[in-house]
Structure 1
Amino acid sequence: MVDGTGAPKAHALVEGSRRVVDSGWFGVVVFSVIMANAAVLGVETYSGVVEDWHTELKALEHGFLAIFTAEILLRMVAHGDRPWDFFRDPWNLFDVAVVALAFLPVTRENATVLRLLRLARVLRAARFLPQIRVVITAIGKSLPGTLSFLLVGTLLLYVYAMVGWVFFADDDPEHYGSIGRAVLTLFLLITLDGLGDAVRAGLEISRWTIVYFASFVLLGSFVLVNLLIGVVINSLEEARAMEEADQAEPPGPAPIGPTPEPLRERIAAARQALDDLEADLGTTPSGCRCQVPADEEEGRRARVPGG
């Protein structure tokens, strides 16, 4: 018997927590609390308000922390039948880290770290805004491609900075007097900021400088930037596909609790049929002989010698 054990109660608690977490009003409430926490952080930047409302602001901070803790615990209970799914979600790990670190004595004694943790709670609003969540996921997935872009861009800047230092250091030491100045100048040129002034200054040195600036702008501003845009767009498509896959309803776990009534009735009927069959077999006389058809009896006698 399942009744009398804790399994049905635990299953009811998990199902109830899951209904609460998946409901629309739960997300609205948590999102509103996150926005209220952000507003209080902004208010605390005014020293006069902090001096006048220090006790009330401290109480609000404890209230926010209690609400966020209850939210995390409720999400954990909602994953009680599959806890590994809870810790598999990076957003859940981020939420747990932000809330749990606020309880550490070292963190609570450091006002700067505590303010940064409270500020990190604002980022949790992305959980309830799917579009922002997709963008943040795309940024994370684009990091490998972005690192490759940075390596190629650094190599390009270094090569062109060295060429600029060789040819322009004597005539334009303010912009190309050292490798550092040359890299900074070319980095600003990637954004096309001051390109006209740089080209005019280069033409005063030599007309061949147009080749230098044109090739650098072509490679740096157009090729590299478009390459970065392609990496981000590809990561954005992958992140959107992941978001759509996560929003798909996963198959529910096997029900925990008493067997449904229709199934129990079928099992009982099958057992009754087996009992009736055993009873019929038990009432058959053990010494009775089954009647064999005449043609089969004659065939058997013909096969037996002397039959």
Structure 2
Amino acid sequence: MNQPTQAGPGRRRLAVHCRRIAEDPSFGMAVFVVILLNAGLMGAETYSGLADAHRQVLQLAENGCLTLFTLEMLLRLGAYADRPKAFFRDPWNIFDLLIVASAFLPFLRENTTVLRLLRLARVLRTARFLPHLRILLLAVGRSLPGTASFLFVGALVLYVYAMVGWVCFAQSDPGHYGSIGRAMLTLFLLTTLDGLTDAVRAGLEISRFSIVYYASYALLASFVLVNVLIGVVLNSLDEAREMEEAEARARERAANDMDPADEVRDRIVAARLALDDLEASLSLIPATAKALPDREQERQLESAR
């Protein structure tokens, strides 16, 4: 059985250097600041007067942000030079690579609207540096199936109450219940309880039993269904938090279960880098400073005699 090809010493040294920079907290903070700066530049471009007066400055700033994003991506790619496949196992790495690479595609750069949307997607990269935001985004994604079920139930309740309202109030209040569409729009606006008092007063002028209609709708649509939606989101948030913790444990387990040969190679590369740094620092020491210990020993021998 053929053994997998091991990365050469040059690639391992490159990966160690790039990994040391990419995993530095100050590097992550700098990238986070550049992302916020890019978002601020996009907001400044929405003011036509400011954009026309400082068009060149804004363009230079945008090119500078793109250059920094490109350098960051090259560093992250270099950090996986000794194991390229591991780079594509992280979904955030793929997302960052697509966002940065899309800025260099000719047919996308020519489309201003698409390019602005892609620039706006860079703001989502802040989730990479904010674990809690990453958990929230994951929770929103996991809550979509439950939200779809909630929307179906909510639409069913809205339709049933709209039909009842059309039957009871179509002739007396055609402006709000003259058709099924108007009735559903009226009830949808009442979901927030805004204008419910006026609707109840108008209904009481038609029939005293209208209070049962509005009270049951407000209880079911504004309280029960909304609380169900909150429960779905909270449940998804717990699942997302558990998934994030499981991934963190898996990464830690993978780091602890590293191949002994790879671990020895990494230690050798780190030791070589440390020796190179020591050799570079020794070359900076003046020759007079190196001769001081020898002169001190001669003085001690003369005093002993």
Q: TM tier, shorter chain?
A: 0.7 to 0.9
Q: Are residue 168 (structure 1) and residue 169 (structure 2) matched?
A: yes
Listed as ranges, the matches of 1:80-229 within 5 Å are 80-229=81-230
Structure 2 residue aligned with 1:55: 56
Instruction: Evaluate the alpha carbon distance shift between residue 235 and residue 258 of structure 1 in structure 2; reply closer, same or farther with a 3 A threshold.
Output: closer
Instruction: Evaluate the alpha carbon distance shift between residue 159 and residue 10 of structure 1 in structure 2; reply closer, same or farther with a 3 A threshold.
Output: same
> Residue type of the partner of 2:239?
E
- In the alignment, the residues of structure 2 paired with residue 6 and residue 38 of structure 1 have an alpha-carbon distance, to the nearest angstrom, of 39
Instruction: Evaluate the alpha carbon distance shift between residue 232 and residue 259 of structure 1 in structure 2; reply closer, same or farther with a 3 A threshold.
Output: closer
Report sequence identity in percent. 60
- In the alignment, the residues of structure 2 paired with residue 160 and residue 90 of structure 1 have an alpha-carbon distance, to the nearest angstrom, of 44
Secondary structure of the residue aligned to 1:88 is: coil
Secondary structure of the residue aligned to 1:45 is: coil
> Displacement of 1:103 after TM fit?
1.2
| Rg (Cα) greater in structure | 1
> What is the CA deviation profile of residues 239-266 of structure 1, one whole-angstrom value per residue up to 9, with x for unaligned ones?
12222233342433324366989xxxxx
> Displacement of 1:64 after TM fit?
1.1
Structure 2 residue aligned with 1:20: 21
> Residue type of the partner of 2:73?
I
- In the alignment, the residues of structure 2 paired with residue 231 and residue 196 of structure 1 have an alpha-carbon distance, to the nearest angstrom, of 30
> What is the CA deviation profile of residues 56-94 of structure 1, one whole-angstrom value per residue up to 9, with x for unaligned ones?
322221221121122223223323444444333332232
| TM-score, scaled to structure 1 | 0.77
Unpaired segments ≥5 residues, structure 2: 1-5, 269-305
Instruction: Evaluate the alpha carbon distance shift between residue 49 and residue 222 of structure 1 in structure 2; reply closer, same or farther with a 3 A threshold.
Output: closer
> Displacement of 1:6 after TM fit?
6.1
Listed as ranges, the matches of 1:261-276 within 5 Å are none
> Displacement of 1:123 after TM fit?
1.8
Secondary structure of the residue aligned to 2:120 is: helix
- In the alignment, the residues of structure 1 paired with residue 154 and residue 180 of structure 2 have an alpha-carbon distance, to the nearest angstrom, of 15
- In the alignment, the residues of structure 1 paired with residue 24 and residue 266 of structure 2 have an alpha-carbon distance, to the nearest angstrom, of 28
- For these two proteins, the number of residue pairs brought into alignment is 257
- In the alignment, the residues of structure 1 paired with residue 85 and residue 179 of structure 2 have an alpha-carbon distance, to the nearest angstrom, of 55
Higher-helix-fraction structure: 2
> Residue type of the partner of 1:88?
R
> Residue type of the partner of 2:110?
E
Q: Are residue 251 (structure 1) and residue 244 (structure 2) matched?
A: no
